């Protein structure tokens, strides 16, 4: 009995210590967030009180009027001062507060996009984690008001807006290029393909595929579009490499007029979400993507066609199934529910794994 009591006590002590560590990690993350917000507030108030935030609009000055703040008040008062005006064609960086002007000038001279901590270093600022987070709020403000383009590294949003609004480009070719880029930079022998879906909430009924349907985005039935996505993950990182729009059978695939108005190609036919997933997996494999296995949730694990398709390609898979799914044991002689099989396994057969680090410590889904 003493031999059994000692491991039990050790497990209990370990569980208690783990609980304390998770609580301390959560509290530390909360206080780091508070500190970061206080730093941002302090910097903003310093700019306002120094008078450096006054807006200088050349158009208003030419008309003999004092510049107007974001809430309509005249510039020169620290109350309602607009720190960063909305960018317009012809507006130069010298209308910005000094700290913001320095950022734009550095980006204008940069020959390639810059990460936030690299930009901090270029400006002679601290690269401490909390300082970088505070500085990121300034970059967000410049992006929101049109002075910078996030991620692309453009000094103006015009090129990105043109790409999204008016440029003609082949979405399939772009997808192929993205997939190639991801595999070139993240590809390893331990790479895994992940299938999942997400919903996009909508107000109207004209967007292709929109209808009232369940979406995990809202956690309930909502008017939405649903897309199926394929991601690639390895020890080097993870990224999306393909997507398919789910087109409901009765409300869309069989409604020719609705399809025509939404611009749905005539050759698009109804496909279940698992079939869309299999199409993307097959396309990735045909393009030379190397994967050790495929994983997905119950919506995909329940589909025998997806499992058969993976087996035909000799690709391993770890797919979730419902607890009521029956599995064969004893060399296929006995059918039992999946949850019963799981309940028969000893505690020692299980390993607790984290889905990754979160703001409050490791993310466990027991």
The answer as to whether 8 is a domain residue is no
Asked whether residue 267 falls in the same domain as residue 287, the answer is yes
The answer as to whether 175 is a domain residue is yes
110-151: pLDDT as tens digits: 767 778 888 888 898 888 877 888 888 888 888 888 888 766
Asked whether residue 136 falls in the same domain as residue 27, the answer is yes
Instruction: Specify the pLDDT at position 291.
Output: 93
Asked whether residue 185 falls in the same domain as residue 128, the answer is no
Asked whether residue 186 falls in the same domain as residue 132, the answer is no
Q: How confident is the model at residue 79 (pLDDT cuts 50, 70, 90)?
A: very low
Instruction: Specify the pLDDT at position 161.
Output: 72
Asked whether residue 267 falls in the same domain as residue 181, the answer is yes
3-state SS of the chain is CHHHHHHHHHHHHHHHHHHHHHHHHHHHHHHHHHHHHHHHHHHHHHHHHHCCCCCCCHHHHHCCCCCECCCCCECCCCCCCCCCCCCCCCCCHHHCCHHHHHHHHHHHHCCCCCCHHHHHHHCCCCCCHHHHHHHHHHHHHHHHCCCCCCCCCCCCCHHHHHHHHCCCCCHHHHHHHHHHHHHHHHCCCCCEEEEEEEEEECCCCCCCCCEEEEECCCCEEEEEEEEEEEEEEECCEEEEEEEEECCCHHHHHCCHHHHHHHCCCCCCCCCCHHHHHHHHHHHHHHCCCCCCEEEECHHHHCCHHHHHHHHHCCCEEEECCCCCCEEEECCCCEEEEHHHHHHHCCHHHCCCCCCCEECCEECCCC
The answer as to whether 16 is a domain residue is no
Asked whether residue 47 falls in the same domain as residue 185, the answer is no
Asked whether residue 156 falls in the same domain as residue 180, the answer is no
Asked whether residue 158 falls in the same domain as residue 53, the answer is yes
The answer as to whether 76 is a domain residue is yes
* % residues pLDDT > 90 (the chain): 38
Instruction: Specify the pLDDT at position 60.
Output: 40
| 76, pLDDT greater than 60 | no
33-73: pLDDT as tens digits: 677 667 666 666 665 555 444 333 333 433 333 333 333 33
The answer as to whether 211 is a domain residue is no
The number of domains in the chain is 2
The answer as to whether 98 is a domain residue is yes
**CATH code for the domain of 306:** 3.30.420
Domain that holds residue 310: 171-199+226-321
Asked whether residue 144 falls in the same domain as residue 278, the answer is no
Asked whether residue 109 falls in the same domain as residue 195, the answer is no
The answer as to whether 99 is a domain residue is yes
Query: Of the candidates 164, 184, 212, which is a domain's last residue?
Result: 164
Q: How confident is the model at residue 4 (pLDDT cuts 50, 70, 90)?
A: low
Asked whether residue 83 falls in the same domain as residue 39, the answer is yes
Instruction: Specify the pLDDT at position 109.
Output: 80
Asked whether residue 288 falls in the same domain as residue 256, the answer is yes
The answer as to whether 71 is a domain residue is yes
| 81, pLDDT greater than 50 | no
Instruction: Specify the pLDDT at position 363.
Output: 85
């Amino acid at each position: 009995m003493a031999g059994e009591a000692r491991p039990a006590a050790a497990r209990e002590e370990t569980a208690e210590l783990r609980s304390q560590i998770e609580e301390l990690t959560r509290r530390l993350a909360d206080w780091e967030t508070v500190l970061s917000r206080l730093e941002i507030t302090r910097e903003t108030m310093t700019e306002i009180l120094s008078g450096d935030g006054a807006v200088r609009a050349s158009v208003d000055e030419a008309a003999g009027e004092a510049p107007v703040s974001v809430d309509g008040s005249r510039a020169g008062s620290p109350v309602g001062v607009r720190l960063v005006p909305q960018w317009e064609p012809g507006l130069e960086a010298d209308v910005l507060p000094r700290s913001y002007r320095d950022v734009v000038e550095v980006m204008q001279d940069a020959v390639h996009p810059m990460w936030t901590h690299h930009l901090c270093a270029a400006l002679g600022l601290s690269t401490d984690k909390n300082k970088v987070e505070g500085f990121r709020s300034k970059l967000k403000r410049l992006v929101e008001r049109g002075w910078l383009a996030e991620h692309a590294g453009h000094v103006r949003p015009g090129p990105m807006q043109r790409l999204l609004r008016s440029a003609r480009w082949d979405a399939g070719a772009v997808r192929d290029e993205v997939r190639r880029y991801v595999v070139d930079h993240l590809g390893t022998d331990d790479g895994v393909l992940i299938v999942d879906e997400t919903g996009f909430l909508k107000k109207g009924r004209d967007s292709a595929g929109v209808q009232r349907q369940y979406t995990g985005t809202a956690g309930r039935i909502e008017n939405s579009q649903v897309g199926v996505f394929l991601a690639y993950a390895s020890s080097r990182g993870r990224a999306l490499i393909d997507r398919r729009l789910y087109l409901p059978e009765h409300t869309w695939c069989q409604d020719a007029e609705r399809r025509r108005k939404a611009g749905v190609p005539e050759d698009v036919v109804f496909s279940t979400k698992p079939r869309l997933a299999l199409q993307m997996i097959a396309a990735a494999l045909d393009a030379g993507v190397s994967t050790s296995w495929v994983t997905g949730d119950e919506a995909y694990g329940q589909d025998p066609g997806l499992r058969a398709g993976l087996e035909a390609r000799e690709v391993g898979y770890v797919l979730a199934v419902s607890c009521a799914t029956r599995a064969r044991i004893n060399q296929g002689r006995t059918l039992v529910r999946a949850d019963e099989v799981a309940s028969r396994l000893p505690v020692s057969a299980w390993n607790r794994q984290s889905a990754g680090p979160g703001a409050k410590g490791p993310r466990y889904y027991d």
